[in-house]
Amino acid sequence: MEEELLGTFSNYFEQPLIDEILAEGKLMEVPAGETIMDIGQYIRSIPLMLSGAIKVLREDEEGDELLLYYLEQGETCSVTMACCMGHTKSEIRAITETETKLIMVPVQKMEEWMAKYKGWRNYVFDSYQNRLNELLQTVDSIAFKNLDQRLMDYLKKKVEVTKDNRIKSTHQEIAYDLHTSRVVVSRLLKKLEKMKKLVLHRNYIHVVDL
Amino acid sequence: MEEELLGTFSNYFEQPLIDEILAEGKLMEVPAGETIMDIGQYIRSIPLMLSGAIKVLREDEEGDELLLYYLEQGETCSVTMACCMGHTKSEIRAITETETKLIMVPVQKMEEWMAKYKGWRNYVFDSYQNRLNELLQTVDSIAFKNLDQRLMDYLKKKVEVTKDNRIKSTHQEIAYDLHTSRVVVSRLLKKLEKMKKLVLHRNYIHVVDL
DNA sequence: ATAAGTTTGTGCCCTTTGTTACTGTTGTTT
DNA sequence: AAACAACAGTAACAAAGGGCACAAACTTAT
């Protein structure tokens, strides 16, 4: 565990902090497809990602979903932190996209370390910045782009995150993430297939060139 | 100036910090409609709002705009901070919505105070949280709501921020903020007028009940 | 007062996206 | 093998929103 932690976070964290994380944090290995955080849930610990990918999504009152962004190695969920610090319920849902290794750190510790370690402060602030920028990208995407482009971006990102150009999703699942309907996704995917950008199969999509 | 600073920020800032802000910060009074920060611009100081309101907006490559949120008394622009800390260009444009009083604090100071004052850390941290939550609201709005509702929300917020139920905007200006066309805004406003929610005039809108 | 510019109202049509309904195909269960 | 469920393809239609054109009302400059 220590090597992984060092490798991932060593540019931020000083040795005493690493020791504390190893002592206080709980290592978890989560298979793909697990909901590790849900809307309305109170949060007592925050995750430091060692490997894998987590997708973070938003849901409205009617249960409509929208993918916000992915979290990857070395990142943490600032929205979750915000909830922790404000002692409010989670505003988002987080689901493992691939098998994921992470360390869960209790909230109290994270507040303590804020005062104690410069490295921790820097890490937390940088995380906030990254999340803000990702959210701005998300806003751009839904505000300024049409579905064709959003779908292409989505597929591209998915290949990147899963490190696999065979995307194992049904059209319905993609529709949920983009907050549209299955029929629309099928239509647009067919269009992309005709443009030789991908090949459609049952239960997976072979991305050729986007 | 000191009373205003105290009044607005005293729940966060300790006295020595207030003294430093008074010494290092530059008070500015900006009339309505001024661009105080623009996309692509490098930022050397961050604003602490004493009074008034600033609208923060995003623009894509083609020059299409979208209102993200308003900043009000006691707030600061975290997206700007993020740029400062990362030494990158501004991702957003900020325009005074009303006459605004603010204190500009140089970036170096803000980094220094991060280590030195707990109150400053808490303030910066809370600001990030508030911005993240506002951005999530913005995402919800454009992802899940239709224009009718977004327009109503927009007008409601504008009344709140300007403390005036006569909204002094042309339909074109509203269209820019919502990232739609003038014709569409005129159409929807007319619908709202027929529903007795407002009364339309040239160059202003009298909001009755939204 | 006239001319020019700005703002708003409205009709018509187009594009994008969403909905419904039905089909065929594949995989699973019994 | 028969029945069923999940997934994908497609046509037809509906709705939301955007674009164009033009008219009317109002404002400002000359």
- Across chain B, mean pLDDT equals 93
E strands, B72-145, where? 93-96, 100-106
Domain topology for B145-207: Arc Repressor Mutant, subunit A (1.10.10)
- Residue A8, pLDDT score: 87
Asked if A183 CB < 7 A from strand D, the reply is yes
Tell me if residue B94 falls in helix, strand or coil: strand
Question: Which residues in chain B are classed under CATH 2.60.120.10?
Answer: 2-143
Instruction: Give A162 CA → D4 C1' in Å.
Output: 33
The correct CATH number of B2-143 out of 2.60.120.10, 3.40.50.2300, 1.10.1380.10, 2.60.260.20 is 2.60.120.10
Residue B176 reports pLDDT greater than 70:
yes
Quick one: pLDDT at residue B18? 94
- Tell me if B139 and A140 make a contact (CB, 8 A cut-off): no
Average pLDDT of A167-186? 98
The pLDDT of residue A2 is: 66
pTM of the model as a whole: 0.93
Whether the pLDDT of residue B4 is over 80: the answer is no
Q: Is the pLDDT of residue A165 over 90?
A: yes
Q: Looking at the partner chain, which of A124, A126, A138 has a beta carbon nearest the beta carbon of B139?
A: A138
CATH 1.10.10.10 boundaries in chain A: 145-207
Write down the pLDDT at residue A82: 80
Residue A59's pLDDT is what? 95
Task: Report, as an integer, the average pLDDT of B183-193.
Answer: 97
State which residues between 162 and 181 of chain B bring their CB within 7 Å of strand D. 179-181
Contacts of B117 (CB under 8 A, 6+ apart): B13, B14, B16, B17
Confidence at residue A1, expressed as pLDDT on a 0 to 100 scale = 62
The yes-or-no verdict on residue B91 having pLDDT over 80 is yes
Strand pairing partners for B59? Answer: B65
Q: Look at residue A93 and tell me whether its pLDDT is greater than 70.
A: yes
State how far the Cα of A102 lies from the Cα of A40, in Å rounded to an integer.
22
Q: Do B114 and A132 touch (CB under 8 A)?
A: no
Rounded, the Å distance between the CA of B184 and C1' of C12 is 14
